[in-house]
């Protein structure tokens, strides 16, 4: 994949050194002069008044939060909602951050937004989920950033499309930006569920695999939509080795003009950070390393056995395909398929495997079987 070769991520200069030497991101704190356990961006969904942003910034900085976020142009789903203060709010945000020794971060969606933020001295920009979906919008932002050297954070697109996310990262990187990080803020879904935007952890983890040096941050506020689950999602992100969190915080969420249900008071945020458990990616403990190696060797062995069994199964599929062809029988047999699904589900349950996993597995193998038999049928 192009991206892993071409993108040289440095985020903040020291950050890259830390990432490539596999030092835990909590060491990032020394550079940012904070004693937090992980990299945190916090601040209100929207900048609303000069007093609101200054009061919030002051409180957040008293808890050593290094970066102050604030929405200036709000992409609202339906017209009629508060759409942000526009340019008037940018200077308030920039000043509030500076006055409290913080960096400032703003969402941009057009070239004009980029220009306005640069003029006001904003330190970090991010591209929102509704913009990442549009290559035109991302390209416009990328073009406006040419020659600029500042961190750009790219939220996942609203739909679970990793290529679209990577494409947006590439567009920004090809404009010469190297200080890039991705933000997982969940994906929208039609059916209502516990989350405002359902997290799909496989996607950011796959992104990390494809682009190993890319810092990936989690945005629990936009995943959860309400404050109850924010600690749980924040901890989950830490357990999955995310590099930081972006969390909405307002000095009084009850009067917030947007996303009031998902903003924490600064003191609540501080408590959340205090309770986060930050796990090590590795350990120097010899006993731990030995045990891990033993378990991994066993897992590897089983995985290869599973692959060999699947290969044997597919060989039989080839044979059955030839047999069906000779006897002029259809590939797909609904009764046999139903019997396979039911019997595997039943057995899976007996040996405590989740039905969801069994169904995924059976469907995957069945799809391959159909494809093998189709080839057999079509071969002259
Ligand atoms: C936001 O961060 O306030 C925002 C609009 O987020 P998202 O792009 O994730 O919807
Ligand atoms: Mn918001």
* pLDDT, tens digit, 9 for 90 and up, residues 356-379: 999 999 999 999 999 999 999 998
Residue nearest to atom 3 of ligand 1 (CA): 45
Residue nearest to atom 10 of ligand 1 (CA): 129
- Compute the distance from residue 315 Cα to the ligand 1 centre, in Å: 50
- Compute the distance from residue 221 Cα to the ligand 2 centre, in Å: 7
Which CATH number applies to 286-378: 1.10.3720.10, 1.20.59.10, 3.30.420.10, 3.30.1300.30?
A: 1.20.59.10
Residue 129 to residue 195: CA distance in whole angstroms: 16
- Compute the distance from residue 87 Cα to the ligand 2 centre, in Å: 18
Listed in sequence order, the residues at least 6 apart from 22 whose beta carbon sits closer than 8 Å to its beta carbon are 281, 282
Give the mutation target among 185, 221, 247, 258 for probing the ligand 1 site: most ligand atoms within 8 A of CB.
185
Mean pLDDT for the chain?
89
Q: What is the pLDDT of residue 26?
A: 33
Give the mutation target among 67, 130, 186, 262 for probing the ligand 1 site: most ligand atoms within 8 A of CB.
130
- Compute the distance from residue 302 Cα to the ligand 2 centre, in Å: 45
The percentage of the chain sitting over the pLDDT mark of 90, rounded to a whole number, equals 80
Residue nearest to atom 8 of ligand 1 (CA): 128
Burial 18-41 (b: 16+ CB within 10 A, else e): bbeeeebbbebbeebebebbbbbb
Task: Evaluate: CB of 69 within 6 angstroms of ligand 1.
Answer: no
Residue nearest to atom 4 of ligand 1 (CA): 128
pLDDT for residue 7 is more than 90: no
Cα–Cα nearest to 96, from 269, 264, 250, 259 = 250
Q: What is the pLDDT of residue 55?
A: 98
Tell me which of 5-14, 103-112, 153-162, 367-376 is least confident: 5-14
- Residue 94 has φ and ψ, to the nearest 5°, of -60, -45
Q: What is the pLDDT of residue 213?
A: 78
Which DSSP string corresponds to 81-134?
A: S----THHHHHHHHHHHHHTT-EEEEE--SHHHHHHHHHHT--EEEE-HHHHT-
Task: Evaluate: CB of 244 within 6 angstroms of ligand 1.
Answer: no
- Compute the distance from residue 261 Cα to the ligand 2 centre, in Å: 10
Task: Evaluate: CB of 127 within 6 angstroms of ligand 1.
Answer: no
Q: What is the pLDDT of residue 11?
A: 42
- The average pLDDT across 302-331 equals 94
* pLDDT, tens digit, 9 for 90 and up, residues 15-54: 433 333 222 333 333 333 456 888 999 999 999 999 999 9
Domains of the chain, by residue range, sit at 2-275, 286-378
- The average pLDDT across 285-300 equals 93
Residue bearing the bigger pLDDT, 62 or 6: 62
Task: Evaluate: CB of 128 within 6 angstroms of ligand 1.
Answer: yes
* Tokens of residue 94, six digits: 């920039």
Confidence bin at 9 (pLDDT 50/70/90): very low
Burial 42-66 (b: 16+ CB within 10 A, else e): bbbbbbbebebbbbbbebbbebbbb
Confidence bin at 350 (pLDDT 50/70/90): very high
Task: Evaluate: CB of 196 within 6 angstroms of ligand 1.
Answer: no
- The average pLDDT across 211-225 equals 92
pLDDT for residue 6 is more than 50: no
Tell me which of 40-54, 255-269, 298-312, 320-334 is least confident: 320-334
- Same topology, domains 2-275 and 286-378? Answer is no
Q: What is the pLDDT of residue 33?
A: 45
* pLDDT, tens digit, 9 for 90 and up, residues 228-248: 999 999 999 999 999 899 999
Listed in sequence order, the residues at least 6 apart from 52 whose beta carbon sits closer than 8 Å to its beta carbon are 44, 250, 251
* CATH of the domain spanning 2-275: 3.20.20.70
Task: Evaluate: CB of 25 within 6 angstroms of ligand 1.
Answer: no
């Amino acid at each position: 994949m192009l991206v892993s070769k071409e993108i040289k991520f440095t985020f903040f200069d020291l950050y890259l050194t830390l990432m490539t030497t596999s030092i835990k991101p909590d060491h990032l704190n020394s550079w940012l002069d904070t004693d937090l356990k992980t990299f945190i961006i916090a601040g209100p969904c929207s900048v609303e008044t000069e007093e609101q942003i200054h009061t919030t910034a002051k409180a957040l900085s008293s808890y050593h939060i290094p970066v102050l976020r604030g929405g200036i142009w709000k992409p609202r789903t339906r017209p009629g909602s508060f759409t942000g203060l526009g340019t008037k709010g940018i200077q308030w945000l920039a000043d509030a951050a500076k006055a409290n020794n913080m960096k400032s971060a703003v969402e941009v969606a057009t070239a004009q937004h980029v220009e306005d933020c640069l003029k006001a001295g904003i330190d970090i920009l991010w591209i929102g989920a509704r913009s990442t979906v549009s290559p035109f919008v991302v390209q416009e932002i990328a073009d406006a950033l040419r020659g600029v050297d500042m961190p750009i954070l790219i939220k996942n697109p609203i739909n679970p499309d990793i290529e679209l996310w990577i494409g947006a990262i590439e567009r920004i990187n090809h404009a010469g930006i190297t200080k890039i990080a991705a933000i997982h803020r969940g994906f929208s879904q039609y059916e209502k569920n516990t989350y405002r935007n359902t997290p799909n952890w496989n996607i950011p983890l796959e992104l990390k695999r494809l682009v190993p040096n890319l810092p990936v941050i989690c945005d629990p506020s936009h995943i959860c939509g309400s404050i109850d689950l924010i600690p749980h999602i924040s901890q989950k992100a830490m357990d999955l080795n995310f590099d930081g969190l972006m969390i909405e915080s307002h000095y009084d969420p009850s009067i917030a003009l947007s996303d009031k249900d998902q903003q924490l008071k600064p003191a609540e945020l501080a408590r959340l950070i205090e309770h986060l458990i930050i796990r090590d990616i590795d350990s120097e403990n010899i006993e731990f390393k030995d045990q891990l190696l033993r378990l991994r060797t066993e897992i590897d062995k089983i995985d290869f056995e599973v692959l060999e069994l699947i290969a044997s199964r597919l060989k039989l599929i080839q044979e059955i395909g030839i047999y069906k062809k000779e006897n002029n029988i259809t590939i797909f047999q609904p009764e046999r398929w139903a019997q396979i699904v039911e019997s595997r589900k039943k057995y899976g349950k007996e040996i405590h495997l989740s039905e969801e996993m069994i169904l995924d597995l059976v469907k995957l193998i069945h799809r391959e079987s159909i494809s093998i038999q189709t080839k057999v049928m079509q071969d002259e």
